[in-house]
Amino acid sequence: MTDVPEEGQQRRTFFKIGMAAIGGLIGLAMAIPLVGFAISPAFRKASKKWVDLGIADLLKGSRYKKINYTFSAKDGWVETNKRRSVYVTDQGDGTFQVYSRVCSHLGCLVRWDEGKDQFFCPCHGAVFDSAGNVVAGPPPRPMDKLPVKVEDGILYVKES
């Protein structure tokens, strides 16, 4: 083998490595911002705020009363009215318990059955007792109880 082809071989090897390096560099310089760009909403923390549910006195004696409420919040680039549904129960000691209707399993809306004194989820057969504990079905934890407060006679709930 003469020197010339060997030198040519070296050149070609250099070209191949060079191409891989350039490809890798551009690929990396693109992959980092593009992946960050795509997954960026996952890092956004939802800001939760107190929402007015109604006059506390009017809710006295409520037993698993369904209340739908709306609050204004940012949805991406849009300011929208978000809607939520909860069950409100007067605990008799002047405090209220507010159950989120969102099933702790996979997010369907549970229904309160007055006759059976239980919550039923229409999706995967979850059943919760009146305190929100799992009686049957796949949920991993009890129903979510939302933070509540009464201020100036108004019942507020921290939106879920």
Residues near other proteins, by CB under 8 A: 11-12, 15-16, 18-19, 22-23, 25-26, 29-30, 33-34, 36-41, 43, 76-78
- In the complex, the smallest distance separating the C-beta of residue 12 from other proteins, rounded to whole angstroms, is 6
CA distance 100 to 54: 16
- In the complex, the smallest distance separating the C-beta of residue 27 from other proteins, rounded to whole angstroms, is 11
CA distance 128 to 108: 14
- In the complex, the smallest distance separating the C-beta of residue 26 from other proteins, rounded to whole angstroms, is 5
Please state, as a whole number, how many other Cβ atoms lie within 10 Å of the Cβ of residue 152: 7
- Pick between residue 46 and residue 78 the one whose CB is nearest to other proteins: 78
- In the complex, the smallest distance separating the C-beta of residue 48 from other proteins, rounded to whole angstroms, is 19
- Pick between residue 30 and residue 55 the one whose CB is nearest to other proteins: 30
- Pick between residue 41 and residue 92 the one whose CB is nearest to other proteins: 41
- In the complex, the smallest distance separating the C-beta of residue 25 from other proteins, rounded to whole angstroms, is 7
Q: Give the dihedral of Cα atoms 85, 69, 132, 128; nearest 10 deg.
A: -20
| CA-based end-to-end distance of the chain | 76
- Pick between residue 35 and residue 55 the one whose CB is nearest to other proteins: 35
Strand blocks (E) in the chain: 50-55, 65-75, 78-90, 96-100, 111-113, 118-120, 127-129, 134-136, 145-146, 148-151, 154-158
- Pick between residue 16 and residue 149 the one whose CB is nearest to other proteins: 16
